[in-house]
Structure 1
Amino acid sequence: MSSCLLDCFEFSDRHTSEELLRVAKEWHVDGKVVCCVTDNAANITKAVKILKWTHHPCLAHTINLIVRDALKVMKPTVDKVKAAVEYFHMSTVGAEKLKSTQRQMGLPELRPKQDCPTRWNSTFYMLKRFLESKDAIISTHAIVSAPVDPLTQEEWEVVEEVCRVLEPFEQVTVEISGESYVTASKMILLCKGLQRITANRQREANVTTGQVIELMDTLCSSMDRKFHKMEYNHVLSETAALDPRFKKLAFSDARAIDEALQRITSAAGRDSPSSQTPGQQEAEGAEGAEAPAVVPQTSAVWMLFDEKATGNAARRNPSADAIMEVRSYLEEPLLQRSADPLSWWKNKASIYPRLTKVMTGRLCIVATSVPSERVFSKTGQIITERRNRISPSKVRQLAFLNANLS
């Protein structure tokens, strides 16, 4: 697995689809796009639709929208935390007093984290850091006359319970944001896991505050709406089925897995793996096998058999071969969840040549658009207060080199 930045440039036009196609053609990949993963912005979604590329929304962005929508029910508490964090960032006296108090209490000197709408999980990180410094913040508020309202005991309880509820969402976001391992095949299972753990916590008696109960209700209803019939999504269902760690276990709906396997079988029947027959590939790929006896290439004795064998190979049914490969693949034991599915497919390529070719166009799909978001973060480090007059073309070159050479 690897990520590459194809282009990063100043863009003020409205014709997003034309620019996407231009970049793809420039790199000769316009006919190789298997899926386009973007955030949920209307302009980029429409651009991909115009190009008729397979589109999938970024799961990290979707989860971020779900969480931010749910956090509206406790906006007054979150706003008070934001105000306190901003005070400690803006006030030198407040920041130094907080550090001094943390040292006196034997606590780590943790600076409060600020919330940023464009940084996913940032609200959770802000609340968690604020909670970790609870005693020091309360003591500092009592000593320093800060122009912000301190949290009440009930609001501290709300923050503590919210952090417990949101922690699984943060864990999922981090797991699906990687670039060096397969991510899209996990999406169905991870989304189900989020729904299950949130529903279980709804029934737990240790959630006491009304705001957090309302927040969990909102989370559950939003996930029911966003993740509805996820198993029938072509991208997600096929990637999950082709991951040897999950296969059928990723599904709870029998019809969904049947439809996914039918599409995979159909694609495998259409694709020709190579000019070699599977038997030839398997023979060449077998390790430790005894070398076959050398037979003269042109032997009149074998002429009749060779003619029959050639005719038999020509009459092979690709659809039947694909069905047999899928059936045999499903009978293989599940791979350990911590193992690399791509290594497994590499070792099995000679056994499942058709399925391997289909797999390469599925497991390469990423679950999020985080790789492109990281480019924006790096660009923000290039354009600084001291380098605010750098030309767009120079930024383009620096961003390209930084992303592809680092």
Structure 2
Amino acid sequence: MVKFISEWKIEDKLFALTLDNASNNGAMVKLMKTHLINKKMLFCGGRLFRQRCAAHVINLICQAGLDYLSPMISKIRETVKYIRSSLARKEKFEEIVSQLGITCEKNPSLDVCTRWNSTYIMLAKAKEFRLVFDSLSIQDPNYTFKPSFEEWENADVICKLLKVFYEATNVI
């Protein structure tokens, strides 16, 4: 990178780099920062040179919060998988939705567990179907993943928090 910024004649135009927390980025920044400080090309002695990627920091915060709630999230994830695993279950789910008069344009979606934002979307959508899951647990003895009252309350709280991060990430 030092070679490239020299070749491209941008050494004196760099103010800061925004990177995630990968260890190889740290090593690269250290070398580049030393090079630029030695040439007196960094503002404030390089104290502002490396900026953490805001989206990456948000990701780390959200992943930590979701890890804490993993059992509840697993129940909702397994519920979505259960409903989607057979046509009969999908039909039963849609029948209960109709019986309860719930009007949602989409059924709950399955998340990608390594992407917190998709987990947020799954939780937010699943909350709309809470009564359906409760009814399904009564009507289908094979459905054993129903979140408890407390778990739904936790889902509500975490969704409110994640919504802020979700919107911030979309802005970034």
Whether the TM-score (by the shorter chain) exceeds 0.5 is yes
- Residues matched between the structures, number: 156
Aligned to 2:145: 149
Matching of residues 3-402 of structure 1 within 5 Å: 28=8, 30-31=10-11, 32-52=13-33, 54-104=49-99, 105-175=101-171, 177=172
The DSSP-based 3-state class of the residue aligned with 2:18 is strand
Please give the alpha-carbon distance, in whole angstroms, between the structure 2 residues aligned to 1:30 and 1:112. Answer: 49
The one-letter code matched in structure 2 to 1:85 is: V
Please give the alpha-carbon distance, in whole angstroms, between the structure 2 residues aligned to 1:58 and 1:120. Answer: 16
The DSSP-based 3-state class of the residue aligned with 1:72 is helix
Gaps of 5+ in 1: 1-16, 178-406
| Superimposed CA distance per residue, residues 337-370 of structure 1 (whole angstroms, 9 cap, x where no aligned partner) | xxxxxxxxxxxxxxxxxxxxxxxxxxxxxxxxxx
Instruction: Flag as ranges the 4+ runs of structure 1 deviating above 6 A.
Output: none
Cα contact 1:138–1:150 (8 A) shared by 2: yes
TM-score using structure 1 length = 0.34
The DSSP-based 3-state class of the residue aligned with 1:113 is coil
Gaps of 5+ in 2: 37-48
The one-letter code matched in structure 1 to 2:72 is: T
| Superimposed CA distance per residue, residues 4-33 of structure 1 (whole angstroms, 9 cap, x where no aligned partner) | xxxxxxxxxxxxx58xx65x678x365344
| Superimposed CA distance per residue, residues 89-112 of structure 1 (whole angstroms, 9 cap, x where no aligned partner) | 433332333233324424214222
TM-score using structure 2 length = 0.71
Please give the alpha-carbon distance, in whole angstroms, between the structure 2 residues aligned to 1:106 and 1:70. Answer: 30
The DSSP-based 3-state class of the residue aligned with 1:94 is helix
The one-letter code matched in structure 1 to 2:65 is: A
Overall identity of the aligned pairs, in %: 29
The one-letter code matched in structure 2 to 1:92 is: L
Q: What is the deviation of 1:131? A: 0.4
Q: What is the deviation of 1:142? A: 3.1
Q: What is the deviation of 1:84? A: 1.4
Summarize the Cα distance change of 1:30–1:87 in structure 2 as closer, same or farther, 3 Å threshold.
farther
The one-letter code matched in structure 2 to 1:42 is: S
Cα contact 1:88–1:112 (8 A) shared by 2: no
Please give the alpha-carbon distance, in whole angstroms, between the structure 2 residues aligned to 1:71 and 1:59. Answer: 18
The one-letter code matched in structure 2 to 1:61 is: H
Higher helix share: 2
Please give the alpha-carbon distance, in whole angstroms, between the structure 2 residues aligned to 1:131 and 1:29. Answer: 54
